[in-house]
Amino acid sequence: MGIVNEGNITDVVIESLGKYGDISDRQREIMTSLIKHMHGFVKDVKLQHSEFLEACSYLERAGKLCNENRQEFILLGDILGVEVLVDMMTNPVDGKTSESTVLGPFYRENPPVLPKGASTIQKHFDNEETAYYEGYIRDENGKGIAGVTMDVWEDAPNGVYENLDPDQPEYNLRGRFETDENGHYAFVAVRPVPYPIPEDETAGELLRYMGHHPNRPGHMHFIISKDAYRPLISQIFDAESEWLENDSVFAVKDSLIGTFKPASADLGTDLHFEFDFVLQAEAGALAAE
Ligand code: BEZ
Ligand code: FE
């Protein structure tokens, strides 16, 4: 079947899969669904050729923006809610372990390794609210896990991440901590403030095309990892933050919202934030204990 018309074009393309080269079952599954959905979309909106060319030129411009500091396609995927959906497919909610959410583009490898309770603050801002973050990282049986690595990073009180702000010291508000023998972690940082994701160039074009805004609610990022457990990439959100109900990248989950409370004098910070995590053991890890 090679002669096409509007009625058979989708089947013709799908039937061509694997005809001139081996493809795996997964490749066939992905391509079949992609072709069905793309053809469905084109028919749905009766896409015109001028619009197709505009889309190609848009993708060309997006591609030219990509470099080691800016991954434009991840950003576009975030604005469309695709990264958060992929994360949901990769790390399904099981009701027992902590929920994940998007990594975002601002993680830096090898942050400063700091002792439990130390501060990530290297520069002070007039509007900052300092906070003591602490909690337990446990397994599914409720047992604290010792020696868990926890990378944390957040924006500064001016709404900018350190690596995008020439006026902040390197690795400001970033750190790597470890849980103690009871699975307890603690560090000092600031209350994160809402900030806009990059809204220049093609990301901004997409936001405007969608009639959406660029803002994210205040959040602290985490990567929590330990051998024999699934790494947890997540964020915790300030219950009182603006944009909580309307995050530009759709990454807020109910279970990740926490409350900043006034700190007691012994903590030496303005606020206190307590949050516990539960890690999912890799298959067989708990049994081997
Ligand atoms: C962030 O949380 O840092 C982020 C996530 C997705 C897109 C842009 C920023
Ligand atoms: Fe962020």
pLDDT of residue 68: 79
Q: How far is the CA of 204 from the centre of ligand 2 (A)?
A: 17
Hey, what CATH class is 72-288 in?
A: mainly beta
In the structure encoding, which two tokens stand for residue 165, read together?
């702000």
Consecutive 10-residue runs of the chain (289 residues): their mean pLDDT? 90 97 98 98 98 98 90 95 96 95 94 98 97 98 98 98 95 98 98 96 97 98 98 98 97 98 97 98 66
pLDDT of residue 182: 98
Of the ligands numbered here, which is closest to the C-alpha atom of 192?
Answer: 2
Spell out a b/e string for 154-167, using b for 16 or more CB atoms within 10 Å of the CB, else e. Answer: bbbbeebbbbeeee
- 75 Cα nearest atom in ligand 1: 7
**Tell me: the pLDDT tens digits for 230-251?**
999 999 999 999 999 999 999 9
Are 223 and 233 spatial neighbours (Cβ–Cβ below 8 Å)? yes
Q: How far is the CA of 197 from the centre of ligand 1 (A)?
A: 6
- Tell me the whole-structure pTM to 2 decimals: 0.92
Non-local CB neighbours of 151 within 8 Å, separated by 6+ positions: 107, 111, 174, 175, 176, 222, 223, 224
Ion ligand 2 nearby residues (CB, 5 A): 104
To test the pocket of ligand 1, the residue of 69, 154, 249 to mutate (highest count of ligand atoms within 8 Å of its CB) is 249
Q: How far is the CA of 197 from the centre of ligand 2 (A)?
A: 8
Tell the residue nearest (CA) to atom 6 of ligand 1.
104
Q: Which residues line ligand 1 (CB under 6 A)?
A: 75, 78, 102, 104-106, 197, 216, 249
pLDDT of residue 17: 98
**Tell me: the pLDDT tens digits for 125-181?**
999 999 999 999 999 999 999 999 999 999 999 999 999 999 999 999 999 999 999
Instruction: Give, as one character, the DSSP assignment of residue 279.
Output: P
Q: How far is the CA of 62 from the centre of ligand 1 (A)?
A: 17
